Amino acid sequence: MGAFLKARRSVLKLTQQSLARQLGVRASHIALLENDRRRPSLGLLARLAVALTVDGKELLQLAYPEIRTLVSPIPERTKLGRSWQRLFKNTTLLARYRVTRQELEVLEHLGVLGGKLTAKRFLAILLLVRDSP
């Protein structure tokens, strides 16, 4: 983050003092940020993005790399296993256990997680969930 801030400030021909004035902080705070000794608050990050004309999301990820998992795109759904497909197609079994559309969606999410889930285990999970308070 620090090296990026310093490089971007240099490209824009800004001094630490002028950037600090623009952001409403002290020049020493800019120095701490550029030397990776401090991380900017979310409010300061937003002001930095505007002042340095950079994407706020990119700046956020540089300052807080642990947030990448939260802002990364959701991976495409994986293919559902044969057990799930058999359960979904077995309308007699679904009717017997009165499986609702919402319950099927929940079971589908379990199917996407993977693992060895048979139709019997899917139903056991469903019945356990129904019985929980």
The ranges assigned to domains in the chain are 2-71, 82-131
- Who has greater pLDDT, 18 or 114? 18
Position 115 confidence tier, pLDDT thresholds 50, 70, 90: low
- Who has greater pLDDT, 114 or 35? 35
Q: State the greatest distance between any 2 C-alpha atoms of the chain, in Å, as a whole number.
A: 74
Class of domain 2-71: mainly alpha
d(CA 116, CA 73) in angstroms, rounded, equals 27
CB 106 within 8 A of CB 112: no
Q: How high is the pLDDT of residue 9? A: 94
Q: How high is the pLDDT of residue 104? A: 82
Q: What is the CA radius of gyration of the chain?
A: 26
Residue 28 has pLDDT above 80, yes or no: yes
What are the angstrom distances between the C-alpha of 82 and each of 8, 47, 95? 52, 51, 20
CB 64 within 8 A of CB 48: no
Residue 12 has pLDDT above 80, yes or no: yes
d(CA 2, CA 33) in angstroms, rounded, equals 6
Query: Could you tell me the two tokens for 34?
Result: 């550029």
Give the rounded distance of the alpha carbon of 121 from its chain centre: 30
Residue with tokens 């090296």: 3
Each residue of 55-98: pLDDT tens digit? 888 898 899 888 876 665 655 555 667 777 788 888 898 888 88
Q: How high is the pLDDT of residue 86? A: 80
Q: How high is the pLDDT of residue 133? A: 64
pLDDT, the chain, mean? 85
CB 59 within 8 A of CB 45: yes
Residue 14 has pLDDT above 90, yes or no: yes
Q: Which of 73, 68, 76 is nearest to 112 (CA)?
A: 76
